[in-house]
Amino acid sequence: MNRHVLSGRRPRAAAAALALTFLAAGCADPGNDTDTTTATTTTSAVAALDQADLQTALEAGAKEFLLPGAVALLRTPSGTVTATYGSTERGGGRPVSVSDRIRVGSNTKTWTATVILQQAQEGKLAVTDPVSRFRPDVPNGANITIEQLLNMRSGLFNYSETAELNEALDTEPQRVWTPEELLALAYPHPPYFPPGQGYHYSNTNYVLLGLIAEQLDGRSLPEIYRDRIFDPAGLTGAVFPAATDTALPAPYSRGYFYGSNVLTMHDPALPADMQAAARDGSLAPQDVTEHNPSWTWAAGQGVATADDLATWAEALTDGTVLDPDMQARRLASIEPTDPANPQAAGYGWGIAKMGPMYGHTGELPGYNSFMGSDPDRDVTLVVWANLAPGVDGRDPASSIAKDLIEQMYPK
């Protein structure tokens, strides 16, 4: 699998969507025999999963990925079922709960993109505007549009792929990063391609969008998210912490990470000997719960619960937070991330399409989460894990979600 397709590469925090191509390829929509990323699906039956089914799948995945804890939440027309596994702390602590907060990584991008689209509704900008209108410092910004930031087609280099950042995350995990510092890491590097002529998942795009959102509203991003996203959508457990705040509001789950950012920068899988040591228990992951996530900012610094993610995934598809025209344009914006592969995930204006589900994934060292909603069948799925990535480089929550989706949507 080409891990660049939907990834910000290592460090994986906020890169999210890292496993989306793998996920989409495993859950092609049985109600749609054309391009799964853009066409409207036709409703077909979904295999029912009860609590026991959900629990069995979650436990199997959690054991495979050596997870201290994990949560799954499934909403269908029959109601909501949940499953939990393990504890909030490795080797102890209390059992995990669906009420626990976690760092949701790149699921934050869906908040940022929605704010930008709301501002477009209000006439504060247009998605066709050049980024130079708001940020004259962006290289080639006169030829990069807001839309190309939203859909990862700007070509701007992803600061998360720099050695400078990865080394600093390992040696200075409490460092407070400013958005301007993150952009300064990216700008000296050449673009991946001319604007609009390719796809590359880049956190740089969303740091820029966060700065533009603040500029247009004249307020801080935490205030903007609260008033435009959390309160209107009813995300009662969601927060966007200050850059200096590394604590998660209670109740929360701790997060764990094997290896280092530099070690897994180019290949997220641990070396074979370290994988074996992790599996036999002689290698322990590090607790990265309080490592400062400010390096992800508008691309991945959010905190939420499983219920928040489920509610938000539904809001992304039902138009709760956008007017009908903008909502339709958002869903229509989704394009294949790999045109040569019809089963590749699609990506649009801060939203992904993975088989039958719209949503996103999120990861930063210690946490991985998947949120997806199928509006045609009224099915919503959330999975999170408190260890990420897996020792073999896969995303635990996204992989478990893939297995659950394959059970619900049999080929």
Which of 299, 301, 315 is CA-nearest to residue 229?
315
Written as six digits, the tokens of 390 are 């897996």
| pLDDT, position 344 | 83
Give residue-wise pLDDT tens across range 325-383. Answer: 999 999 999 999 998 887 788 999 999 999 999 999 999 999 999 999 999 999 999 99
Question: Rounded to whole angstroms, how far apart are CA atoms 111 and 47?
Answer: 31
- Mean pLDDT per 10-residue segment, the chain (411 residues): 39 42 46 32 71 97 98 96 98 95 98 98 98 98 98 98 98 98 98 97 98 98 98 98 97 98 94 98 98 98 98 96 98 93 89 96 97 97 98 97 94 80
What is the per-residue DSSP string for 297-346? Answer: GGGT--EE-HHHHHHHHHHHHHTTTS-HHHHHHHHHT-EESSTT-TTS-E
If one counts the domains in the chain, the total is 1
Residue 152 belongs to domain with CATH number: 3.40.710.10
Distances (CA, A) of 242 to 77, 158, 222, 321, 360: 38, 23, 8, 24, 23
Q: What is the pLDDT of residue 13?
A: 38
* pTM for this model (two decimals): 0.93
Task: Answer yes or no: is 105 within a domain.
Answer: yes
Write the pLDDT tens digit of every residue in 70-85: 999 999 999 999 999 9
Query: According to DSSP H, which parts of 96-176 are helical?
Result: 107-121, 146-150, 163-171
Does some domain include residue 44?
yes
The answer to whether residue 11 sits within a structural domain is no
Position 6 in a domain: no
Could you give the count of Cα atoms lying within 13 Å of 392 in the half-sphere of its Cβ?
10
Partners of 359 in the β-ladder: 352, 372
Range of the domain at 199: 20-408
Query: Is residue 47 packed enough to be buried (19+ CB in 10 Å), middle (13-18) or exposed (0-12)?
Result: exposed
- pLDDT score at 127: 98
| Cα–Cα distance measured from residue 192 to residue 176, given in angstroms and rounded to the nearest whole number | 28
Decide if 365 is inside a domain.
yes
HSE toward the beta carbon, residue 38, CA cutoff 13 A: 13
Question: Is 218 a domain residue?
Answer: yes
Q: Is residue 182 part of a domain?
A: yes
In a domain, residue 120? The reply is yes
